[in-house]
Structures are given as structure tokens and as C-alpha cells.
Amino acid sequence: MIRKTVGWLDARIGGSAFTRHALNKVFPDHWSFMLGEVALYSFVVLLLTGIFLSLFFDPSVSETVYEGSYEPLQGAEVSDAYNSVLRLSFDVRAGLVMRQIHHWAAIVFVAALVVHMLRVFFTGAFRKPREINWIVGLTLLILAMFNGFTGYSLPDDLLSGTGLRIAYSIALSIPLIGTWLAFLLFGGEFPAEEIIPRLFITHVMIIPALIIGLLAVHLAIVWRQKHTDFPGPGRRESNVVGSKLWPTYAAKSAGLFFAVFAVLSALGGLIQINPVWLYGPFEPQQVTSPAQPDWWLGWVEGAMRLFPAWEIRALGFEIPNPFFPAVLLPGITFALLYAWPFLEQRFTKDLEYHHLLDRARDHPVRTALGVATTTFYLVMFLAASNDLLARWLGLEVGHVTLAYRIAVFVAPALAGYVSYRLMKALLLSGAETFREMPFAALRLKKRPTRV
Amino acid sequence: MKSTRPITIALVASALASLALTVVYLRGGQPQAEGALLAVSLGGIAVALVLIAQRFLPHGPFVEQRDVEPGAPRERMLAEEDFDRSSDEIERRGFLGKLLGVAFGALGLAALFPIRSLGTKPGRDLFHTPWGPGVRMVTGENAPLRLTDIPVNGFLTVFPEDATHAADAQTVLIRLADGDLPPGPPGAAVEGVVAFSKVCTHAGCPVGLYQAETRELFCPCHQSVFDVLQAAEPTDGPATRPLPQLPITVDEDGYLVARDDFPEPIGPGYWNRGR
């Protein structure tokens, strides 16, 4: 049957040569090469569950009275959007589990993207000829973060409404264009009625279409350039060593898809996430406390909490405080990330082709910079819960914030220095692992390398 | 070593879980059971596929050659030649080429205008709120308020009458204890009751928490603290400006009213706020 179909197709459009080439394509086996696949499969789960959710969600802020089966909110005045999310959660069979799998998949999707990007960074996989895919991948990460935000803002609950309020203020803070930008994005002064339907169409159509398009480009380039590989016996710049696409790699990769889906199902079924019925409907004069965004925006939230009460004012014009941590910092962050492959080329003067990967020790400066930068964003991420930490430790929030303000500079410097010493020592000692490395190697005196 | 047993078990478990999932669904559904059973259905297939790949499928390792340099310089040169040859025709008519550029540019500009339809003009919207001379202060249910409705150390969110949805007009009313001097210009407070904008001057969150012992308003979003006795100056956190104070009084019927709009724009900053 399959053979017959394939024959019928080949007689009309050809393609057997390509199919044969594709089936025999070799993919290297290393656990860290699965990270991108985890992201891809989380995205597939997002699409599958998202289509289901979109059939029930009502993107409107018209007022209605909640009459569903969740008793504490019965009789409450809520928006159609919030009402439809409650209906989906309590009165549509399998609705809640779908919603929760969708939210967990978003969390895992962005996490897998970030870890995948760290792997690519620390192994030097972005080097020539793979600069384009670094740029495409980074754009995918930005789109994923943005779509995550538009997604959790849809239910029109109190927590996400507060997030939208902050987003509006951030847009407002941009010099010269801020007021127009905020009014055009939201349709007018906050809270404008257009924002929920706009977020909806952005979330379910515009950004997913961009992600699918860029994902296709990303995978096509990987296919064309073939995968990188770690150095090892028989592995050269001019070859790829591993399993063939058919059948071994296909079976493993399909297994990974089902494994990712299984884990997300377990999370979605067993661990409650974003219980919007507990936050209540959005009211502009109310606010939840504590209020934290989803994890991938934690660093921006933390930066807003850490940045001191500074702003620039002159001649009746001003650059408001949120501009610096919430516009300038992310702008610089992503500009540097986009530029990194080219910056490194400039500093190392390395314009060679690289298909074999570095190990972290092979490039102590890059590793140290990567560790320091990651630590910087990690401290800001943690600072987004300074109020919770203060409550938990019984301290004043101001003191906790001060500690974080110091840590955000000291911790990256320390982490970068320590990792530089460790990588350099490992490289110079010639040891394979840290355990084999003699302690004296940390003095960074050159020793005869083992053969 | 190459036993098929674990694979069989995984697949049978998967099929059974799918059946159980159907039963759960038909009996009305239950989120925890649905998630857990779906995890077993999918996980069983995952385990089976990975074990099949590990135990029964060829492992090689296989080697495939790759082009270290993906490009083909000769092809690239030929392509450039072909492109140049055909574009010469346009280049020879330089004027037409430029005019074509102008037409495309103008069309591009015209295509930007629909963006303007997305929102209203900011204008002076951000500079004003519905408050004004004699506007009554009401609760969220549009009920007017008398001084006696606010207990000492009490904290109330109020709106202009018939504008309870005006997010920019939300205001906190606080009745200070007897010993406290009301802050602000003379005549802004009435019998120890003061009113401040509830919109944080940092990022616009409602300044939702009032600590009566310290007379501090606290914003739960980024932890800005405002000292009510110092006319709501920020004392901690990222906020740079005090919460604007609404001048209030009591009208002839004994209801609380505003004397005027806020003396300055409320809420988060924007580039021309001071103009």
C-alpha cells in the first residue's frame, strides 16, 4: 500500500533520489543535541493543545455575569474572556487538562530554547558557517518569550492584567514614541478594550506563523549544513558520525516526542498552573500580592525591582525610570547576543569553518564570559521574588533588594573568574575530567601535557 | 539481552491507559486522572520506541561526508554574471529605474498609514483624569461618601461619580489619626482625610497596600513605598515621584467632592509629561 502510493507519487513528481538520500542521512548521537528537539516537540504540543483552547476562548472584554460551576465566583461581574476561560476550566470536559498542558508546554518550550542556546554558546556551535542559525534561533527565542506573554495575558485575570499594566507603562516610557506606541498597541489609554482581541490574534496567528516559518528555516539550515559534532575518534571536520535517519534516528526522535508529550501531560494533569479563578477577574484598581510574571520574564521584572529610583529630566522632558531596566537592558542584551558570533570572530580573528565543537575548556574566555553573563541574568531572575524572600526570611524588602543590587555585580564577576581559572587549569593540565586534574593545576603553571 | 518483553509491557500499558482514559472521559472527566493516564499512554509508546531503537535497529556508527565549505565559488561567479547581464537593460535606463524606486517608496509610505488606525491620538489624554471641581467621590458601586464613612486609619478606593471604570482616576482616601498633620497644600485635606492617586508613578500598578502604623502606601509590583505624611513622597523602591494628591472638600449636601483635577499627570512617566 505504502509502496504503491510512493510509486504513484514518484511517477508524477519524482523525489526518490531525495528520499533515499534523506533516509540515509547521518545524525550524530549526543544527549545535548536533543535539547533543540525538546523545544521543537514542546512547540508541537503547544500547537495541538492551543488549537483546542482557541475553539473555546472568547476574546472580548464585554461584561457578563459568571454562572458556571465554580461557586466562589458565581454572580460575579466578569469579562467574556475570563468567563470563557473559567468555562473551559470547569465545564468543558478535558478543558482544564488541555489548558494546563498548554501552559506547562510553554514553560518547557522557552526553557528548552534557553538551555539549547547555552549549549550552542558554550560549545562554539554558532561559529562559521552557522551564524545565520544563531540569529534565527535567537529570534525564535524572542518570539517564544513574547508569545508566552501574550498567551498568559489572555484570560483577563487580575495577575495578567497587572502584567499588561506594567507592559503598557514600559511602552509609555520610551522617549519620543512611547505615548504613541502605547496608544497604538493598546488602542488608547489603559485599559483599552481592544487589547484582549489584539493579544488573541497575535498569540494564535501572527507569532505562531512567524515561529513556524523561522523554525522551517532553522531546520532547513541544519539539514543543509549537517549537524556539528564533538571531536573524537574518526570524527573530522569533513564528516558526520552517528545513526542514520531511517530507522534508528527516526525511532529515537519519535520516542523523544512521545516522552516530552508524556512529561507535559503528567505536569498538566497533576501540577496546577495559573489558577486564574483564584486571582479573580481583572479590575484596574486591584492587584495581587505577590505578583510575579512567568519565569522567562523574571529577569526583566527583577531588573525593574533592582534598578534604583533614577530617571532623567530636563526642560520638561524626561526618560522615565522603567525605560532603563525594561527597554534599554533587554535591548542591549539581545543586540549583544545577535552580535556575539561576529564579535568573537573579530576578537579571535578566527574566520575558519568549524564543524567540530569546542569543549568549554577549549575557550576559557568565552566560557567565563558566558558563565558571568548567565549569572547576571540569574541574579536578576531571583530578584523578581525579593518580596517573597523578604517575607520568608522575615527581613525588610529594602534590605533584600540592597543585597541583590550588590550580588548582581559581585556574583557574575566571581563566577566568571572562578570558571576562567577552572577551565584554564583543566586545559593546561591536560586532564580529561576535574577528578583527574591535580589540585596544583589551579595555579595555572604550565605542565607537560599527557599523551 | 535483546528481550522484547519490556517493549511489550510498555505498549500494553500504553494501550490500557488509553482505554482507561476513554472510560474516565466518558464518565465525565477528571483532570488529574486524564493527565496521568495520558502520560502513561504517551510514555509507553516513548519507552517502546527508544528500546526498539536501542535493541533492534542498526547503530553503525555510520559515516557521512560533508562539504566543509557549503558554497561553490564557480557557480556563484556564473550566477553573478547571469544576473548582471539581464539587469543591464534596466540600468541603461537609469531614470526609469530611479522613478520605479520613488514609486515603490511612496507606496511603502502610504502602506504605513493604516497603523494610525490602531489607536486614538494620545493628545492630552494622559494629562487629565475625570476629576474636576465639585465631582463627587464614590465607591466602586457608585455610592457617594460622607466623612463619617471613613474610619480613622481607614483606607478606601474611590472614583469620580459615574466614572467607576476610569482606571486613571482611581484614588485612595485615607483618614489620618488625630495626632497626624495632613500633608499637602492648605485646603487639600478635609478633617484629616487625604486623597492620593492610586496609580503607582513607577509602572502604573495600583498602590494597593496601606500600613496604618507607619502611614505608608506600598506597591506590590516593584515594592515602591510612599510616605503619606510626607505628601506620598517615595521612600524606597524604584518610584521617583510622589503620588499626586487630589485636593478635596465637602459639598453642601455633606458628600466628599474633589476641588479640582490632580495638580499634575498621574501614573507612570512618559517623555513629555512635564510639557
**Nearest chain B Cα distance for residue A220, angstroms:** 14
- For residues A437-446, average pLDDT: 77
pLDDT at residue B180, as a whole number: 86
Kindly state the cell numbers that stand for A81.
474572556
Judged by CB atoms within 8 Å, which residues 136-165 of B form the interface with A? 140, 157, 159, 165
Q: Are B190 and B256 in contact (CB under 8 A)?
A: yes
According to DSSP, the β-strands at B216-218 and B209-211 are antiparallel
pLDDT at residue A355, as a whole number: 97
Name residues whose C-beta falls within 8 Å of residue B263's C-beta, 6 or more positions apart in sequence. Answer: B244, B245, B247
pLDDT at residue A443, as a whole number: 79
Distance CA A253, CA A249 (A): 6
What are the phi and psi torsion angles at A299 (to 5°)?
-65, -35
What is the DSSP code (8-state) at residue A290? S
pLDDT at residue A135, as a whole number: 98
Chain B's closest residue to A354, CA to CA, is B68
pLDDT at residue B218, as a whole number: 94
Query: pTM of the entire structure?
Result: 0.96
Kindly state the cell numbers that stand for B29.
472527566
> Measuring CA to CA, which residue among B128, B157, B129 is closest to residue B142?
B157
pLDDT at residue A412, as a whole number: 98
B38 and A401: CB-CB below 8 Å? no
- For residues A201-227, average pLDDT: 97
Confidence of residue B107 (pLDDT cuts 50, 70, 90): very high
A269 and B35: CB-CB below 8 Å? yes
- For residues A23-44, average pLDDT: 96
Q: B144-153: string of b/e by CB count within 10 Å (b at 16+)?
A: bbeeebbeee
- For residues B54-59, average pLDDT: 93
According to DSSP, the β-strands at A239-244 and B62-65 are antiparallel
Q: Give percent above pLDDT 70 in chain B.
A: 100
Residue A115's CB is within 10 A of a number of other CB atoms, namely 15
pLDDT tens digits for A118-137? 999 999 999 999 999 999 99
Judged by CB atoms within 8 Å, which residues 267-306 of A form the interface with B? 267-270, 284-291, 304-305
H or E stretch at A33 = none
Domain ranges of chain A: 2-304
pLDDT at residue B275, as a whole number: 85
pLDDT tens digits for A295-312? 999 999 999 999 999 999
pLDDT at residue B183, as a whole number: 86
Mean pLDDT taken over chain B: 93
B208 and A287: CB-CB below 8 Å? yes
pLDDT at residue A147, as a whole number: 98
**Nearest chain A Cα distance for residue B66, angstroms:** 5
- For residues A252-267, average pLDDT: 98
Distance CA B11, CA B46 (A): 9
Kindly state the cell numbers that stand for B80.
553573478
The owner of cell 548582471 is: B84
Q: Are B70 and A130 in contact (CB under 8 A)?
A: no
What is the DSSP code (8-state) at residue B250? E
pLDDT at A389 over 80: yes
Q: Are A305 and A321 in contact (CB under 8 A)?
A: no
pLDDT at residue B84, as a whole number: 86
Confidence of residue A449 (pLDDT cuts 50, 70, 90): low
A286 and B66: CB-CB below 8 Å? no
pLDDT at residue A448, as a whole number: 53
Is the four-CA dihedral A150, A155, A157, A159 of positive or negative sign? negative
Rg (CA), chain A: 25
H or E stretch at B210 = strand B209-211
Q: Which chain B positions have a beta carbon within 8 Å of A29's beta carbon?
A: 61
B274 contact A CB<8A: yes
Confidence of residue A441 (pLDDT cuts 50, 70, 90): confident
Among B18, B158, B236, B271, the residue to mutate for chain A (most A Cβ within 10 A): B271
Distance CA A227, CA B260 (A): 68
- For residues A219-236, average pLDDT: 95
> Measuring CA to CA, which residue among A95, A96, A102, A65 is closest to residue A82?
A65
Among B118, B128, B275, the residue to mutate for chain A (most A Cβ within 10 A): B118
pLDDT at residue A446, as a whole number: 59
A133 contact B CB<8A: no
Amino acid present at B31? P
Among B21, B30, B113, B222, the residue to mutate for chain A (most A Cβ within 10 A): B222
> Measuring CA to CA, which residue among B233, B242, B245, B258 is closest to residue B184?
B245
A vs B, Cβ pairs < 8 A, gives: 284
Burial-class residue A382 by CB neighbours within 10 Å (0-12, 13-18, 19+).
middle
> Number of helices and strands (H, E) in chain B?
4, 11
Distance CA B248, CA A396 (A): 34
The owner of cell 528500546 is: B51
- For residues A336-351, average pLDDT: 97
pLDDT at A57 over 70: yes
- For residues A54-74, average pLDDT: 96
User: Which numeric CATH code is attached to B129-258?
Assistant: 2.102.10.10
Helical segments of A55-94, H only:
80-90
pLDDT at B177 over 90: no
- For residues B134-149, average pLDDT: 94
Q: Which residue has the higher pLDDT, B97 or B196?
A: B196
Q: State how far the alpha carbon of A82 is from the alpha carbons of A66, A230, A277, B160, B221, in Å.
A: 9, 50, 9, 26, 22
CATH topology classification for A2-304: Cytochrome Bc1 Complex; Chain C (1.20.810)
- For residues B210-214, average pLDDT: 91
Q: Which chain B positions have a beta carbon within 8 Å of A257's beta carbon?
A: 46
Own/partner contacts of A275-279, CB < 8 Å, gap of 24 or more, are A276/A82, A276/A85, A276/A86, A276/A89, A276/A155, A276/A157, A276/A159, A276/A160, A277/A70, A277/A72, A277/A73, A277/A86, A277/A89, A277/A90, A279/A157, A279/A158, A279/A159
pLDDT at residue B1, as a whole number: 58
B34 contact A CB<8A: yes
Domain ranges of chain B: 5-56, 129-258
Distance CA B57, CA A287 (A): 57
A331 contact B CB<8A: no
pLDDT tens digits for A139-195? 999 999 999 999 999 999 999 999 999 999 999 999 999 999 999 999 999 988 899
B27 contact A CB<8A: no
* SS3 (DSSP) at B181: coil
Give me the helix-helix angle, A158-172 and A131-153, nearest 10°: 130
A237 and B68: CB-CB below 8 Å? yes
pLDDT at residue A451, as a whole number: 45
Q: Which chain A positions have a beta carbon within 8 Å of B68's beta carbon?
A: 237-238, 353, 355
DSSP assignment of B154-166 equals -EEEEEETT-TT-
Mean pLDDT taken over chain A: 95
